[in-house]
Structure 1
Amino acid sequence: MKKYGFGVDIGGTTCKIGLFETTGKLVEKWEIKTNTENNGSSILDDIADAVQNKLSEKQISMDDVQGVGLGVPGPVMGDGTVSKCVNLGWDVFNVEKAMAEKTGLPVKAGNDANVAALGEMWQGGGKGYQNVVMVTLGTGVGGGIIIDGKIVSGSHGAGGEIGHIKMKNDETDSCGCGKKGCLEQYASATGIVRMAKQKLTSDTTATRLRDIEELTAKDIFDAAKAGDAVAAELVDTLGEMLGIALANISCIADPQIVVIGGGVSMAGQILLDAVRKHYVERAFHACEDTKFEVASLGNDAGMYGCAQLLLTV
């Protein structure tokens, strides 16, 4: 008899929902709008309705459903309490308990970056490994640490907040978190663009980057691939910052593999090479052979990880 589970990745704009067999096979996926009006008071009701409607459509009995996994854009405590999800309008409450009452199903919740790491470990770039560090390079830098197949969420739900490792003491710009010198100020899409603009202002070296009006991270990586020296230097700086941070993390987590996801990971091998180069230079000798891979599940990683949450209880 087949058993099922739902993975729900709650984002600020949409909720990505997947119906999974517990083997890891994705049966169907769809999206619903995230209604953030009235402090997101209807979000869980909308998800519960979507789950019940899908069970009716597929004629699946509640007895054959292992539960619902939720990925939430904010810290999640071990008991399922979320600690303010600003993007959703949520304050502090137990999302697991609330969702269980609405669906009549067991519920497990986790931070969205952490569950994305779990998804990549289960069916993505980290498949086959139990000790995984995932870094998501997008507008910011997210992360997740998996040890022995389980998320390290910590006592405040902030485990794996890789983007806020302190990298520089003399930084004058502030990170989105309010501190200065965080990793995401250098290794994110916005970070490398910020560094590029600073360099173009202070350095007169010829570069094709000056000809691009709305500079993006992709433009910088494309220019580096084409041999632009300034762009190559910027990519190397990003690789150095991320490589150093991961070398430090490896002294604590000792992962078998580092999976790099998010929009910046689309740069591919040039990014992996830059990070690995600086990682190996700094890593403790026992950790030097850590593998590096690009994430493979894309925007579905969170859904997969939410479903896997149900299987790691």
Structure 2
Amino acid sequence: MEKIAIGIDLGGTTIKFAFLTRKGETVTQWAVPTPVHNKGRSIVPTIIQSIQEKMSEQSLSAEDIAAIGMGSPGSVNRSEGTVTGAYNLNWTETVHVREEIERAFGIPFELDNDANVAALGEQWLGAGQNEPHVVFLTLGTGVGGGVIVNGELVHGAHGTAGEIGHVKVEADGFHCTCGQVGCLETVASATGIVNVARKEAEQFIGESQLAQKIRNSQPVTAKSIFDQARFNDPLADNVLKKVGSYLGKTCANIANILNPSTIVLGGGVSRAGQLLLDYVTPHFERHAFPTIATRTAIRTASLENEAGVLGAASLAFALEDRVETVTQNENVNL
């Protein structure tokens, strides 16, 4: 029997799991609530118990599992297998995730940042179409990213490669959570798009339902701005042209440096689908190097909430391959 991988997508509300084959076929998939109480001390034991129960249900032993992969929020130390400062999990101190899980199962375990793992999922089984050179931007509450070159994640010297949300797009602009100003995250995340709309509304003259809502202090979201744009609201159109310019130029700069085959836009904002691409692509084509502009695909993500768990399984298979390579080299040297 071919070994399967276990993928885990750890989130602040839900922990998602999947058993996958190397072909990307799902053996089983499930989710449990994340027990964030008591400083998150029950999270890792819950992961262990849930996997043990599912392995028993599927009649699987440790010998049937290639490896376990997991994506986590917070500051991930890949070499140590630890997570620090995952505040939505109540993990304020360092949690030794790999140590606990490997002790429980005797199975190799790999850990990475949740945005990186989602990038792997989209690259393998999603909009990246298993191409080896893919860049992933997740446009959610913030803007994250993952860079894949030759089929492998790029981490950089200090593990922070792919912080695309902190590319500077304005000399001044809105203040960012990182302490800088004018970061992409402040204008292209779900929150950032609303920031742009509120600022543009201050100087907008003309008929606009969106402007009226903002001036009347009614709730406005990125989704409602896209919805208004579909009804040809002029302010919504102005806002998304500006957001599209920021994203398009950023994607062009990324493509000029890395030359990926595909740039995937994910996260909640990507649910706008073709409308988002209609605002982004013209600016990308205008600012990218000509050869790159015509040969780089920009797509919205296709896996939505499954990207993380599928990417985590991909991480597990990559770990198994590395372990096998080391073992083979050791045998050759005997």
What is the TM-score when the length of structure 1 is the normalising length? 0.94
Corresponding residue of 2:100: 98
In the aligned structure 1, how far is the partner of 2:155 from the partner of 2:138?
A: 16
Aligned pair in 2 of structure 1 residues 94, 255: CA closer, same or farther (>3 Å)?
farther
> How many percent of aligned residue pairs carry the same amino acid?
43
| Residue 82 (structure 2) pairs with residue 76 (structure 1) | no
| Residue 296 (structure 2) pairs with residue 296 (structure 1) | no
The answer as to whether partners of 2:133 and 2:150 remain within 8 angstroms in 1 is yes
| Residue 268 (structure 2) pairs with residue 268 (structure 1) | no
Corresponding letter in the other structure for 1:181: G
In the aligned structure 1, how far is the partner of 2:307 from the partner of 2:13?
A: 17
TM superposition shift of 1:83: 4.1
TM superposition shift of 1:262: 1.1
Corresponding residue of 1:9: 9
Corresponding residue of 2:264: 259
In the aligned structure 1, how far is the partner of 2:103 from the partner of 2:56?
A: 19
In the aligned structure 2, how far is the partner of 1:232 from the partner of 1:193?
A: 13
Instruction: Choose 212-221 or 238-247, whichever is displaced more.
Output: 212-221
Partner SS, residue 75 of structure 2: coil
Corresponding letter in the other structure for 1:21: T
Instruction: Choose 276-285 or 290-299, whichever is displaced more.
Output: 276-285
Instruction: Choose 1-10 or 87-96, whichever is displaced more.
Output: 87-96
The answer as to whether partners of 1:77 and 1:156 remain within 8 angstroms in 2 is no
Partner SS, residue 68 of structure 2: strand
Deviation string 1:245-301 (CA, Å, 9 cap, x unpaired) is 112212322110011111111111121122111111111233212101111111010
Corresponding residue of 1:33: 33
Instruction: Choose 162-171 or 302-311, whichever is displaced more.
Output: 162-171
Corresponding letter in the other structure for 1:42: S
The answer as to whether partners of 2:78 and 2:110 remain within 8 angstroms in 1 is no
TM superposition shift of 1:69: 0.7
TM superposition shift of 1:93: 4.7
Instruction: Choose 251-260 or 301-310, whichever is displaced more.
Output: 251-260
TM superposition shift of 1:123: 0.6
| Residue 140 (structure 2) pairs with residue 135 (structure 1) | no
Corresponding residue of 1:54: 54
- Unaligned regions of 5+ residues in structure 2, if any? 320-334
The answer as to whether partners of 1:9 and 1:70 remain within 8 angstroms in 2 is yes
Corresponding residue of 2:200: 199
In the aligned structure 2, how far is the partner of 1:225 from the partner of 1:287?
A: 30
Q: How does 1:210-289 map to 2 (within 5 A)?
A: 210-212=211-213, 213-288=218-293, 289=295
TM superposition shift of 1:106: 0.9
Instruction: Give the greater-gyration-radius structure (CA).
Output: 2
In the aligned structure 2, how far is the partner of 1:304 from the partner of 1:102?
A: 22
Q: Which runs of 4+ in 1 moved over 3 A?
A: none
In the aligned structure 1, how far is the partner of 2:157 from the partner of 2:73?
A: 17
Partner SS, residue 27 of structure 1: strand
The answer as to whether partners of 2:204 and 2:211 remain within 8 angstroms in 1 is no
In the aligned structure 2, how far is the partner of 1:83 from the partner of 1:131?
A: 30
Given the alignment, which residue of 151, 158, 161 partners 1:159? Answer: 161
What is the RMSD of the two structures over their aligned residues, measured on CA atoms?
1.6
What is the TM-score when the length of structure 2 is the normalising length? 0.89
In the aligned structure 2, how far is the partner of 1:178 from the partner of 1:99?
A: 35
TM superposition shift of 1:303: 0.2
TM superposition shift of 1:139: 1.2
Corresponding letter in the other structure for 2:63: D
The answer as to whether partners of 2:204 and 2:235 remain within 8 angstroms in 1 is no
In the aligned structure 1, how far is the partner of 2:188 from the partner of 2:101?
A: 35
In the aligned structure 1, how far is the partner of 2:8 from the partner of 2:19?
A: 9
Aligned length: 312
TM superposition shift of 1:166: 1.4
The answer as to whether partners of 2:5 and 2:66 remain within 8 angstroms in 1 is yes
Corresponding residue of 2:65: 65
Partner SS, residue 196 of structure 2: helix
Corresponding letter in the other structure for 1:202: Q
Partner SS, residue 69 of structure 2: strand
- Unaligned regions of 5+ residues in structure 1, if any? none
Partner SS, residue 312 of structure 1: helix
Partner SS, residue 76 of structure 1: strand
Aligned pair in 2 of structure 1 residues 240, 300: CA closer, same or farther (>3 Å)?
same
The answer as to whether partners of 2:5 and 2:317 remain within 8 angstroms in 1 is no
Partner SS, residue 85 of structure 2: strand
TM superposition shift of 1:150: 0.9
Given the alignment, which residue of 116, 119, 123 partners 1:117? Answer: 119
